[in-house]
Structure formats: structure tokens, C-alpha cells
Amino acid sequence: MSNEIIVEARRQTEICNACRYCEGYCSVFPAITRQRAFSDGDLTQLANLCHNCRGCYYACQYTEPHEFALNLPGILAEVRQDSWKEHAWPVGFGRAFDRAGTLIALVMVLSIAALFVLAQAVRPASGEGFYAYLSHGLLVAIFAPAFLAPLVVLMISLIRYWRTVGGKGLKWRHISGALASAGRMSNLSGGHGDGCNFEQEDRFSNARRWFHQATLYGFLLCFASTSAGTVLHYDFGLEAPYGLFSLPKLLGIPGGIMLCVGTAGLAWLKTKAERQLGAAAAWGGEMAFVLLLFFVSLTGLLLFAVSGSVAVQVMLPLHLGTVLTFFLLTPYSKMAHGFYRLAALVRDEQDK
């Protein structure tokens, strides 16, 4: 991690600890006041606990042109990005995604989609729905390792992070407290329920909180839909395609709509927010991740809409390409922030 960034983060955090004006804004400031000195691990923990709502910046009397020139959300975003890249493996790829995330994601989606188009030339002898174009065995052979390998990489990264921030033995009360905070997105409420200032400067808004919740719960519903389909297939012998009122569709369609709305909203807000209050160098990579997740949900919904038509031959490879790209890039894209933030919330519960 850059020593210059850590030194600057320590300087600003020490000033905030002396001031304490923003103590009720989010979990970061109570965590700051519990310390007298800040190690590199402490600053990494604070950075991943920060949700970048920016309320503290717009309330601060020590931002530029004051000589202290505080920009706490900006410097913590830099530390946070560095921590993800430092603990991820391989390190170099994560930094490359920050610089050219949109190009990398686009090339991967199109390349993988082209391979799936070619794979349709060897169609199964029989099958219904999507399995008439690609066999179930082929999809499992491709997606199982593509799903599990990034999870292994993420687990290794989180273990490194946990050691860096001085994490202790896990207890259910700490985990449940962190899950409750994450589910409510309480750190995006501004400490008073009126929301944060991410895109509104001195005005409060809950828009970012609502879009985050739509993205989170939409993603979980889509994951539950896939899990339900897996259980129906292997445990009950009920193979796809499933009807409109089946459990996979009842979970997946609302989940896909919520995911589309949430990611589109977050991308829109990101274009309105001031870049210097986040990790400006990683803006492209962050936007690429949000757009990739949007297209995962959009192509999934479109694929359902064109079921039974010749358009499936185009939409199926495109959807599978976006999903596979999303899986493979998870440890290096901003998707990793969800895992790190949950770990930071658990660590914060331990310190309370």
C-alpha cells in the first residue's frame, strides 16, 4: 500500500479525532474516537467501514481552502482501493481493471459470448428451452469452476484483510449485528435518517441508500432463483425450463428488475457526484462493474422475454458471457467491496 496515502490518511484521521464534530454521522467516527493512535491496519479498517456518503466532507469546516485541507471520504477511498488490490491475487490484474475496467469487461463479454455461439454448433440431441442450444453438462462444466475459483480467491483476500485489521474470533452476535447494519444500509442514512450527500452536496437524499438496497436485494433474489433451480433439478428431477409461476421465476424476475433499477440508479448518481471525493483513479473500474451488473440483469430479463423464439440464439450467449465475466472479475472489481465491507462491519461490532 502506498506509504504516502497512509501518511495522509493518518494526518486527516487524527484531525478528525480531535474535532469530533461528525461523531454521529456513521460508524467511522465512533470507531475513530475509540483510538488514540492509528496503525496501518486501523486505517485500513476505517477505510472499509466508510460508505463514502460524503456527509462529513460537506459538513466539515476544515476542507479547502482551510490549511488543513481535509477530504476524509476521498483519502479513505484511496486507502480502501489500495487494500482491495493489495490483498487480491494476482495483484496486477486488479490495478489494470481500475485503469481500463470498461474495456476489459467488454472484451471479456464479447469473447466469451462468441465462444458460446460457437458451442451452439454442437447442439445436444435433445433438450428443452436453453438446453436445446447448450447442454446442461457443458454449462455446469464451465460455470461451476468459474463460480468457485473467484470465491476461493476472495476467501484468501479476506483472510489477509482480517489479519491486517487485527480481527478476532468470530461470534454470532458480531456477525448478526453486521448483517443487520448491512441490510438496513444504516451507514447511508447520515446518522439522522435523512440520507447522505453523495450527489446533492449540502442537500440530503436517500436515493443512494434505496438504489443500494435494490441492488443488494435484487442480487440476492437472483441468487436464490438460481439456487432454487439447482434444488429442483438435482433433488426433485424437475428440469428447466420452468413456468412463470415456478419458484425460480417468482424469485428471478422481481430480482432482475430490482437489480436493473438499482444498478442504473447507482450509475446515474455516480455521474452526478464529485470524483475527487472518491478514488478518482478507480472511477472507470467502478463504473464498469456497475454497468456489468446492470447488463447481467438486463440480458437475463431479455432472455426470458424472447424464450421460444430464434432470438434465444443471440441472447443466450450474450447473457452467459456477461454472467461468466461478472464471476471471473468479482475479486478484482468493486463487487469485492461488499465482502470487505461486511468484514469491516463485523470487525467494528467486535470493537464496540
Answer whether 299's CB lies under 8 Å from 311's CB: no
- Measured distance CA(213)–CA(4) in Å, rounded: 35
* Cis peptide bond N-terminal to 30, omega within 30: no
Answer whether 79's CB lies under 8 Å from 47's CB: yes
Answer whether 166's CB lies under 8 Å from 152's CB: no
Sign of CA dihedral 32, 35, 36, 41: negative
- Measured distance CA(348)–CA(47) in Å, rounded: 12
- Measured distance CA(253)–CA(246) in Å, rounded: 11
The one-character DSSP state at 128 is S
Write out the E strands in 111-234: none
Q: For residue 285, give the nearest of 106, 150, 110, 99 by alpha carbon.
A: 99
pLDDT in tens, 28-61: 999 999 988 999 999 999 999 999 988 899 889 9
Answer whether 174's CB lies under 8 Å from 187's CB: no
- Measured distance CA(222)–CA(227) in Å, rounded: 9
- Region of 206 (left: φ > 0; alpha: ψ -120 to 50; beta: rest) is alpha
pLDDT in tens, 158-185: 999 999 999 999 999 999 999 999 998 9
Q: Where does the pLDDT of residue 118 fall: very low under 50, low under 70, confident under 90, or very high at 90 and above?
A: confident
**What percent of the chain has a predicted confidence (pLDDT) above 70?**
94
Q: Bridge partners of 196?
A: 205
Q: Where does the pLDDT of residue 125 fall: very low under 50, low under 70, confident under 90, or very high at 90 and above?
A: low
Mean pLDDT of the chain: 89
- Measured distance CA(247)–CA(13) in Å, rounded: 49
The residue written with cell numbers 439522522 in the block is 192
* b/e per residue 283-295 (b: at least 16 CB within 10 A): bbbbbbbbbbbbb
Q: Report pLDDT for 13.
A: 97
- Measured distance CA(50)–CA(188) in Å, rounded: 10
Q: For residue 292, give the nearest of 317, 337, 328, 322 by alpha carbon.
A: 322
The radius of gyration computed from the CA coordinates of the chain, to the nearest angstrom, equals 22
pLDDT in tens, 272-312: 889 999 988 888 888 989 999 999 999 999 999 998 888 98
- For 44-83, the DSSP string reads HHHHHH-----HHHHH-SSSTTSTT---HHHHHHHHHHHH
The whole-number average pLDDT for the span 12-28 is: 92
- Measured distance CA(352)–CA(339) in Å, rounded: 20
Answer whether 173's CB lies under 8 Å from 349's CB: yes
Between residues 136 and 20, the one the model is more confident about: 20
- Which residues touch 232 (CB under 8 Å, ≥6 apart)? 238, 239, 242, 246, 247, 248
Answer whether 309's CB lies under 8 Å from 108's CB: no
* b/e per residue 196-231 (b: at least 16 CB within 10 A): bbbbbeeebbbbbbbbbbbbbbbbebbebbbebbee
pLDDT of 73 above 90: yes
